[in-house]
Amino acid sequence: MLPDIGGGQRNRPREGNSGGSELPSLGGGTISLSAVQPSSVLPHSEPLTDELKEKGANLIELFGFEVVTCFYSQTWSSRLAAIEKVQEQLQNLDPNRRDAMSAEINRKNLPIENNFKTFLEFIDEGTKDPVLKNLIAIIDLLKKALPTFFRYIQPTMIKKDLMPVVSSLIKKTTDLKAKVREVAIDFCLYLSHQSPIGPEVMVNAVLSELELVLTEQSPAASTTNNVAANMGNSHMISSCFKLLI
């Protein structure tokens, strides 16, 4: 056995440890390799058109070209991979948690206010995804990201910028798919009861959408040709009452 520099002997790996699952750290301890989480690899996607490059210019600046390429893909799984990549990298939107060495998004360390507006562009586009799994993922991403933005940005500014997304999600309570309605309602309840947005803002938003539904009713809406529309409006009215309780 070889002597240590200090005159002792090299430490053998503890019994049951092959020695290959831990690395020495600068502090003299060990780092478990199993604790190191590898970054996910984005799938190959069709190239962005010039139109999409222009449309997604802000998204590209914040999230990077590869993420946005997947996000605009015609393949639902590629779009989902882009959403999951952003969720994986969420800490890099936080100025105090951002890792300049490993960040795959927000590489330019942009101001948090700019990031919030661009992030909402990402969310707004994602809520248009027709695939339920992707819609669930984009709303979950928004819920997980909002606490970071609330930490640094005045709630009044967040309310102003967030309301178009809220309006879009309230409208999704007209969807004929129960799961879509459930996801939309859960997010609105989260904003009302578990965020600085608060119940007053959400009640007003719900009442505004409800008023639009009621005032836009026409005699033709009662015909059998508009059964789906009537069902959707009924779902929305029912969902709005749930949010008001």
Q: For residue range 229-243, what is the model confidence (pLDDT) as tens digits? A: 555 556 666 656 666
Torsion of CA 3, 4, 6, 9, to 10 degrees: -70
Q: What percent of the chain has pLDDT over 70?
A: 72
- Distance in angstroms (rounded) separating the CA atoms of residues 92 and 166: 25
pLDDT at residue 73, rounded to an integer: 97
Instruction: Identify the pLDDT of residue 129.
Output: 96
Asked if the model's pLDDT at residue 206 lies above 60, the reply is yes
Query: Residues 220, 224, 225, 228: is their CA dihedral positive or negative?
Result: positive
Lowest mean pLDDT among 11-25, 87-101, 154-168, 185-199: 11-25
- Taking residues 155-163, report their average pLDDT: 92
pLDDT above 80 (res 32):
no
pLDDT digits (tens, 9 = 90+) for 80-119: 999 999 999 999 999 999 999 989 999 999 999 999 999 9
Instruction: Kindly report the number of other CB atoms within 10 A of residue 6's CB atom.
Output: 6
Arithmetic mean of pLDDT over the chain: 81
What's the CA gap between 245 and 234, in Å, rounded?
A: 17
pLDDT at 31: 46
Task: Kindly provide the b/e burial profile for residues 163-176, where b requires at least 16 CB atoms within 10 angstroms of the residue's own CB.
Answer: eebbeebbbbbbbe
Alpha-carbon distance 71 to 92, whole Å? 19
Residue boundaries of the structural domains of the chain: 43-153, 154-217+225-245
DSSP state of 176: S
Bigger pLDDT: 164 or 240?
164
Q: pTM of the full predicted structure?
A: 0.76
